[in-house]
Amino acid sequence: MNFIRVSAACPLTNVGDIEFNLNNIEKCIDKALIEKSKLVVFPELCVTSYTCADLFEQQLLLKKAVKGLEKLCRYLQNKDILVAVGLPVVYNNCLYNCACVIFKGKILGVVPKSYIPNYEEFYEKRWFTEGLHIIDERISFYFQQNIPFGVSLIFNCGDFKFGFEICEDLWAVIPPSSYLCLMGANILGNLSASNEIVSKSSYRRNLVCSQSARCMCSYIYASSGVFESSTDLVFSGDLCISENGVLLKANERFKRENEVITSIVDLDKLNSQRLKNVSFRDNIKSFSQKPVNIEFEFENFDYGDFDRKVDKHPFVPENKNEREIRCREIFSIQTAALGKRIVHTNLKKAVIGISGGLDSTLAMLVAVKTFDTLNISRKNIITVTMPGFGTTDRTYSNAVNLCKSLGTEFREISIVDACLQHFRDISHDRNIHDVTYENVQARERTQILMDIANKEGGLVVGTGDLSELALGWSTYNGDHMSMYGVNCSIPKTLVRYLVRYVADREASQNISSILLDILNTPVSPELLPKDISGEISQKTEDIVGPYELHDFFLYYFIRLNYSPEKILFLAEHAFKNNYSSEVIKKWLHVFIKRFFTQQFKRSAIPDGPKVGTVSLSPRGDWRMPSDASFKLWIDSI
């Protein structure tokens, strides 16, 4: 599955007390091992402590630091974990602030700090030399010889490639980690000693997240804690783990005990982003520096319990405030897109088929906002409800009442007689409720809308959403077609929140009530006759499966290019309290088959705006042959 558990640690320290510091470093390692971590990153100069100042020039301290390093190596001899600790190292009569990377008792490499701060509260150049010029050299200690030494060290274990930088390096215009990523590193550690001043923590964590996003990597940050000297500065033990711009885990600062945070990193996610990002590939081509590759091998990749958070609804922000901001932005994107098309075509009217369902409701709300923005009367929005064989009183009433309440021009055109005539024309028995029966109705509705648009000089606004495009849940050249599709990259799970967003802010109690009832109406194309009680008989999710599952599948299949096996694993974790594994697997099979077999519809869809990270436009994000086989994907699960 390409998951790995990583840790950031802040041990108790006593300035200059190497034995005390090592004992606490070992305790943190033990905790990381219990949690099945494969990497633990410690703070800068944690073996001696960061705030030794002129004591760094004391020979006793420097020699004891190396002795302590030997002790730590002995301690790690049989432990299946990569450890990065900080200590001062003498090389060619210069003192370097270094990260020593240890695995199973052996120092794999020593990474010097590239940039030494010497401004404001930092005066490191008084003791340390910049390591930026050290690329591929060798250093020796009395207990181990010929150790790789330089800033270009990449520690390789199969697909997992680790790189390290130290504190100020991250603050550089081009951090060394940027170069390390171009050389292949996908998991980066920063051994840091960053003091606390007001608001610095949020800036620092934003910097960590930004670097992980820019480098499409995981970034593990560990800073010194409160037991550093407080002569002039205070340190908080800030720990955080980020992945591709997302903060996976962060601690509560200013703790007064040993602390270790862990998180599971998803390497497939990082690799997927790098693979599709052309700029990343171009950077690699223009970057000539070669890495110093150091190979090692974990005994296993056991990450323990899978406690990584997997959002059931990846298209919908979990946080309410963030969700509201997202909804407002989406409406702005849709409105700007439709507004441009209206102005460009010089058409003053829009034509929308209104069913009383979610998608057509959202399209109408977008049209209303667009016309208000363009100072065009809402009466120029021609809303048409076209009752058929399956139209229920509930959806019909909601459609009629909403159109009239919003002040659009409302028209009602029954399709029953036209469809009956068409059945006779093509010799179809009206009592056979097959795909022909359904598609005749969908195409009749589309024909009506197109003809009204021609007659009125208007633009047919499409209502289909991203989830329907993915599943091919539309009638080819029926509701599949329009003159502009405003919902084309909005998944069904997000459509609900957009409609609710308007309902919650609508000044009119009447309009808000209608929108809320639409939200509570089962999703249906209403192409089959009503049941005996006059209710919807054809419920989409009973036929193709729950949209929340399909949107989940779609996100990981398109956005991250995951295998069906991995999508199934994540879905089982995310929906463990909602669906059984058998049910999830059943609908994943349906998703794969429909996604492949319905591509021909997506190859011929109208223009429409990209709103989120996933789009299926054949002109932009998704280009796929219509006759590709799904066998490989189905057989994998």
Q: Extract the tokens encoding 56.
A: 């760094």
Q: State the average pLDDT over residues 13-41.
A: 98
The CA distance from 589 to 637, in Å, is 9
Question: What is the mean predicted confidence (pLDDT) over 1-13?
Answer: 96
* CB-based contacts of 561, cutoff 8 Å, min separation 6: 272, 275, 276
Of 38-52, 244-258, 270-284, 553-567, give the lowest mean pLDDT range.
Answer: 270-284
Bridge partners of 352? Answer: 383
* Angle separating helix axes 509-519 and 393-406, nearest 10 degrees: 150
Give the Cα separation of 138 and 530 in Å (integer): 80
Q: 203 falls in which pLDDT band (50, 70, 90)?
A: very high
As a CATH number, domain 320-544 is 3.40.50.620
Q: How high is the pLDDT of residue 534?
A: 72
Residue by residue, what is the 3-state secondary structure of 51-79? Answer: HHHHHHHCHHHHHHHHHHHHHHHHHCCCC
Residue 264, both tokens: 């599971």
Contact of 254 with 149, CB cutoff 8 Å:
no
Is the pLDDT score of 323 beyond 80?
Answer: yes
Residue 527 has pLDDT above 80, yes or no: no
Structure tokens at 272: 């997927």
Tokens of 412: 């009602």
Region 328-332: mean pLDDT is: 96
Average pLDDT over residues 572-590: 97
Start-to-end C-alpha separation, the chain: 14
Catalytic residue among 104, 113, 161, 492: 113
> pLDDT tens across 365-415, in order?
999 999 999 999 999 999 999 999 988 999 999 999 999 999 999 999 999
What is the tally of helices (H) and strands (E) in the chain? Answer: 20, 20
Domain-by-domain residue ranges, the chain?
3-295, 320-544
Which member of 44, 130, 165, 196 is catalytic?
Answer: 44
Please, which residues bridge with residue 99 across strands? 86, 111
Residue 538 has pLDDT above 80, yes or no: no
Contact call for residues 456 and 349 (beta carbons, < 8 A) = yes
Dihedral of the CA atoms 249, 493, 617, 589 (nearest 10)? 90
pLDDT in tens, 547-559: 999 999 999 999 9
565 has catalytic annotation: no
SS3 assignment, position 553: helix
Let me know if 379 is a catalytic residue. no
Annotated binding site for ATP: 353-360, 463
pTM of the model: 0.92
Taking the C-alpha atoms of residue 42 and residue 294, their distance in angstroms, rounded to an integer, is: 20
Instruction: Work out the average pLDDT over 220-244.
Output: 96
CA distances to 28, 99, 227, 242, 600 from 258, in Å: 7, 20, 11, 21, 58
Q: Any idea which residue has 């205070």 for tokens?
A: 234
Q: Give, in order, the Cα–Cα distances in Å from 32 to each of 80, 125, 198, 566.
A: 11, 33, 31, 26
Residue 589 has pLDDT above 90, yes or no: yes
Q: Which tokens in the block code for residue 395?
A: 């959806």
Mean residue pLDDT across the chain: 95
In CATH, the number for domain 3-295 is: 3.60.110.10
Extract the annotated binding site for deamido-NAD(+): 439, 468, 473-476, 601
Binding site, by residue number, is 119, 194, 200, 353-360, 439, 463, 468, 473-476, 601
pLDDT confidence of residue 190: 98
Among 167, 181, 403, 419, the one annotated catalytic: 167
- Whole-angstrom Cα distance, residue 153 to residue 180? 8
Q: What percent of the chain has pLDDT over 70?
A: 99
- Average pLDDT on 141-152 reads 97
User: Is pLDDT of 288 > 90?
Assistant: no
Could you identify the residue written with the tokens 């409105």? 335
Per-residue pLDDT of 55-69, as tens digits, reads 999 999 999 999 999
Average pLDDT over residues 471-479: 95
Contact present, 449 and 384 (Cβ < 8 Å): yes
Q: Average pLDDT of 243-259?
A: 96
- Active-site residue 113, yes or no? yes
Percent residues over pLDDT 90 in the chain: 92
For 451, list phi and psi in degrees, rounded to 5.
-70, -40
